[in-house]
A and B are shown apart, each in its own frame.
Chain A
Amino acid sequence: MTIHSKTVGETLVKVEDLKVTATTDSGRKIEILKGVSFDVRRGEVLALIGESGSGKTTIALSLLAYARSGCHFSGGRVLLNGKDLMTLSEKERQKLRGNTVSYVPQSAAASFNPSKKIMDQVVEVAEIHGILDKAAARQKAIGLFRSLSLPSPDTIGDRYPHQVSGGQLQRLAAAMALIGDPELVVFDEPTTALDVTTQIEVLKAFKSAILDRGMTGVYVSHDLAVVAQISDRIIVLKDGEVQEAGETEQIVGAPAHPYTQALISAFEPVEAEPAGSRPASSAVLEMRDVVAGYGNVKSDGKPHIVAVDGVSLTLQRGHSLGVIGESGCGKSTLLRVAAGLLPAASGDCVLDGRPLRPQVDARGKDELRKMQIVFQLADTALNPAQTVGNIIGRPLTFYHGMKGEARDSRVIELLDMVRMPAQFRHRLPRELSGGQRQRVNLARALAAKPDVLLCDEITSALDTVVAAKVLELLKELQRELQLSYLFVSHDIHTVQSLCDEVMVMFGGRKLETFAAADLHAEARHPYTKLLASSLPTLDPTWLDNLKQDPELVRKFAHA
């Protein structure tokens, strides 16, 4: 890397033609890894990058001589210091794990035992392998907490996992991985579950820990920009095969393989149309001073837990309004209020100039038809017991009274609209890929012939390349059908590429609304600037050069 020099030594890990096979419930065998080979040298961080199903986590776990249940190693070798991990006995594998090779999990929140104190879990590695006595291990852990810049390092270990934040847990998990001074640390998507502002803190802590110790690491991620900050070399995986391997600068700067190029191109900034390019027409949806939340309404007219606190917005016909903010800011609740799924405690919702009743049961069929909601997780948004044809057909029958032949041919039209072949209408949701499900999800909403689509993080769960295609589709549909989008996302990049206007929310309140093209204008709210600056770029020096006001970070980040 350019900024710092590291000493990269001899080969520590050598993976040769690794094959892993999974057996499904019905007895079918699927090759998850189809012969993967690579080396890790001492003192370097190697990134494994790929989308869901690429086999990256399977490779990571094989470095700990472990395959998840239902999977088994069907060929190849994993050599650590020249010793093949596949031939180890169970006892030897236990000695390896945590001691020679350690693991930082994707979701620390789920990977900490909820009924044990954090410190006991961190020092457990030392206890299992008999590395240090209890007192020494505790001292070492506290030192690690401090070096990972955790708050109150002396006492944080005495808490239970549910008493600390997600970003802190992720760093505590790193401390747990480092306490045995392992030769290799495997990071498995360790920042994926975090908000961007939190992610920065955790990444910085990881990076300095890696540099301080000259650590050898394998870093698994789906996010090229994150990986670019932390790794020396990158291996690009797809469907259990290596597509391309190279130095970080080369992969990010001059990718050779078409798949890598597609991954990179998803990062290219999309030019937002300059403000005012599309004349503001009439307002199609307005929300005024909406207050909503959960629990009983208290005497001051607010619910027990307030999720949305006095938010107003206006969505112009044919336009898109992006709502961004981090988890818990109330953005999804706002959509549920608009859809009537969560009746507002106070405030108004106006569609086409006519006020809507707060709860869905009280609204007219035509009012409901005009506004359709599309959910984030297409897996749970589609009834697993119904075929695609029935899922899309139901709104046709419900709103338009269509039946039989007419309904069937309209379903085919709608599938065509979301670029899916007609015979897909006979499939069940589980027989579709993630991207296809999200398209069906869209087609169901379009079946109603709506004016407004309420989109709840609809690209967040999708792989980069697939998400880019769905966004493209949304733009085309907007042009063809004059749709208006209220588009909720945590990803400023996505919102900027799709929306005319952007609204920023924090803690249930609206901070500001501005034209998408003015995101980087000087007049932006400090939190908006923080959000914008926290999104990693492909530039490997980005994290090192990042300057953020610590005061601001403390105020807004949940770390």
Chain B
Amino acid sequence: MNKRILEMIGGRLAIAILSLFLVSLAVFFITELLPGDTAQELLGQAVTTEAAAQLRETLGLDRPAILRYFEWIFGLLTGDLGYSHVSDRPVANLVAERLPNSLTLAAITMAITIPLALGLGIFAAIWKGSIFDRAISSAAIMLVSFPEFMIATLLVMWLSVYMQWLPALSFIPATADFRTIVLAFIMPVSVLVFGSCSQMIRLSRAAIADAMATPYVEMAMLKGASRSRMVLRHALPNAVAPIVNSVALSMSGLLGGVIIVETVFNYPGLAKLMVDGVSTRDMPLIQTCSMIFCGFYLVLITAADIIAILSNPRLR
């Protein structure tokens, strides 16, 4: 660990904080400035303009947007996540109920996807050109082409409707036993794994393949190294940065998958809450949920960048 590395990591963290700030600007002003009026929406179409104006005043929507932005940001920083007028509850309460469910779903998925996808990608690279490689590559290209909702509906059709093995919805009652919980999770997690692993397989295989084409791997081969030694000892250590990066990028896809999956299976997570919020135009809820998701995503991207920095031998 030296000064240069610390400086670079510090730089990455600073950029992450700046990005989060810019993201908050983007989220707030896209939701506020695009045509569409919250007050009108809340009251329905038939309302008079006076009533709408009245409501706007109570909600504080008549004040300048920039002022409201800073109030919102200050609120977020001090733990005040805003108030949902649609469900008439503090956003913090809604989020607290749902966030753990989404995190559980995402964590289970990541715990399965990352080792699975990287393993398949790396083995496909080791046996490049073999039947295994071609099967994996073809499967990956098919999976990136299929939308998650399609995989989800087909799975439901097969496993719930025809076979009747698994519940079609993942609503878990409080009294559920372990078996019920596991059964409820199988399909949502499978869909997410299918949806998020293909990109990771393709990118990690490509990263290894790039490293395999370098003169130093050829040199290793000319020293008598076996193919697995070339991949594991020589190519892999130099492909850490792109692989970690591919994992972080796949997380964007995973989040998209979570949004779809929670809706299909009626899973009580934060993403479902947000989708419902969009239908009802519950802006404080949408804004807060967006910031939570973006925050998690930026943490992952920044972690990937830092791992990439640490893996660069020139900085040791």
Contacts and interface: CB of A to CB of B under 8 A. Distances in A.
Do these two chains interact? yes
A533 B222 CA distance: 36
Nearest to A97: B224
B179 interface: no
A142 B32 CA distance: 69
Interface string A80-108: 00000000000000111111001101010
A111 B237 contact: no
Interface string B140-180: 00000000000000000000000000000000000000000
Given A111-B215, A114-B216, A114-B238, A124 B313 contact: no
A266 B251 CA distance: 61
B25 to A, nearest CB: 31
Interface string A12-56: 000000000000000000000000000000000000000000000
A97 to B, nearest CB: 4
Interface string B222-257: 111110010001100110000000000000000000
A115 B225 CA distance: 17
Contacts of B215: 105, 107, 110-111
A424 interface: no
A115 B219 contact: no
B221 interface: yes
A107 B313 CA distance: 19
Interface residues of A, number: 27
Interface size class of B (residues with CB under 8 A): 20 to 34
Contacts of A113: 216-217, 219-220, 234, 237-238
Which of A61, A66, A128 has the most chain B CB atoms inside 10 A of its CB? A128
Q: In terms of DSSP, what is the predominant structure of the interface of chain B? A: helix
A507 to B, nearest CB: 24
A103 B224 contact: no
A511 to B, nearest CB: 32
Given A113-B216, A162-B313, A128 B225 contact: yes
Contacts of B314: 114, 160, 162
B223 A66 contact: no
A206 interface: no
A273 B229 CA distance: 59
Contacts of B234: 113, 116
B222 A97 contact: yes
A129 interface: yes
B104 interface: no
A96 B215 CA distance: 19
A492 interface: no
B218 interface: yes
A97 B223 contact: yes
Contact of B224 (A94, A112, A116, A162): A94
Contact of B226 (A94, A99, A160, A176): A94
Interface string B50-74: 0000000000000000000000000
Nearest to A186: B222
B214 interface: yes
Contacts of B226: 94, 128
Given A105-B219, A113-B216, A128 B224 contact: yes
Contacts of B216: 110-114
Interface of A: 61, 64, 66, 94-99, 102-103, 105, 107, 110-116, 124-125, 128-129, 160, 162, 176
11 contacts: A94-B224, A95-B224, A102-B223, A103-B222, A105-B215, A113-B216, A113-B219, A115-B237, A116-B234, A124-B223, A160-B314
